[in-house]
Amino acid sequence: MKRKFTLLFVAAILLLFSACSKKSNDAPKNTAPVITATYYFQGTLNGQLTTWQVTNGVTGYVAGSSPNATTSLGVVSGITALLSAATGTLQFGVEFRTFQVTAGQDITAYFNGFVNTGAWTYATTSAYTPGTKAIAIYYTDSQGNGYSSIGAQSGSSANVISISQVAATIDTNEALSIELTFNCTLYPISGTGSNITLTNGKASVLLEDILY
């Protein structure tokens, strides 16, 4: 009788261990990778977790900036910090607007003080309005289809967490390293196709001083 009880006890333990192991193996696989890169983008696009990290700045993904208009004296413009695939069309961008510089102005000081921490409003139109500050998110998928946050953004949010200055090098101008979080709706730039919902977004981007 004692032997029978012992065998039942052992069987119960093995069954419990098996159940625990199965539960562990069935854990969700859509787990966010650990971010180790200085510059990165991570977010959930229509329910699909997406993570890009800039490793060596040559392969995989690269960081850079692009003006959305000529950044010459007197011209209003935005500058977009970009994370782009080294090959292919994948690209993520964060545009900060609206810049406008004049002759005799301390352009470096103006640029370094332009982006502030805290909440930012989303740009609702493609027009650049002098004296206003707004943000826009851009995304290009693997098929080359472009999307932007420009449009209605009810319930969306964008928040700049930290800003640090990056010294100029032989190949680059001074820049700002900006960390931010965001949630928004992305609209097809072509005007056709479905919107994309971007949630739990966070990124660290390089915004270069290309105002002159």
The pLDDT of 186-208, averaged and rounded, is 97
Model confidence band, residue 32 (pLDDT cutoffs 50, 70, 90): confident
Q: Look at residue 24 and tell me if it is in a domain.
A: no
What residues contact residue 189 under an 8 Å CB cut-off, 6+ apart? 146, 147, 148
Q: Look at residue 7 and tell me if it is in a domain.
A: no
Specify the 3-state DSSP secondary structure of 128: coil
Model confidence band, residue 1 (pLDDT cutoffs 50, 70, 90): very low
Residue 196 has pLDDT above 60, yes or no: yes
- Per the DSSP assignment, residues forming a β-bridge with 94 are 81, 137
Residue 60 falls in which region: left (phi positive, over 0), alpha (psi -120 to 50) or beta: left
Model confidence band, residue 172 (pLDDT cutoffs 50, 70, 90): confident
- pLDDT computed for residue 20 by the predictor: 41
Model confidence band, residue 30 (pLDDT cutoffs 50, 70, 90): low
Residue 135 has pLDDT above 70, yes or no: yes
Q: Look at residue 130 and tell me if it is in a domain.
A: yes
Tokens standing for residue 42: 């991570």
- The total number of structural domains in the chain stands at 1
Q: Look at residue 61 and tell me if it is in a domain.
A: yes
For residue 13, count other CB atoms closer than 10 A to its CB.
Answer: 10
Model confidence band, residue 57 (pLDDT cutoffs 50, 70, 90): confident
Q: Look at residue 18 and tell me if it is in a domain.
A: no
Q: How many angstroms separate the CA atoms of 99 and 97, rounded?
A: 6
Q: 23-32, 58-67, 192-201: which range is least confident on average? A: 23-32
- pLDDT computed for residue 26 by the predictor: 39
Contact predicate 118/162, CB 8 Å: no
Residue 53 has pLDDT above 60, yes or no: yes
Q: Look at residue 197 and tell me if it is in a domain.
A: yes
- pLDDT computed for residue 23 by the predictor: 38
Range of the domain at 97: 36-208
The pLDDT of 58-73, averaged and rounded, is 83
pTM of the model: 0.83
Q: Look at residue 107 and tell me if it is in a domain.
A: yes
- pLDDT computed for residue 103 by the predictor: 82
For residue 73, count other CB atoms closer than 10 A to its CB.
Answer: 14
Q: Look at residue 119 and tell me if it is in a domain.
A: yes
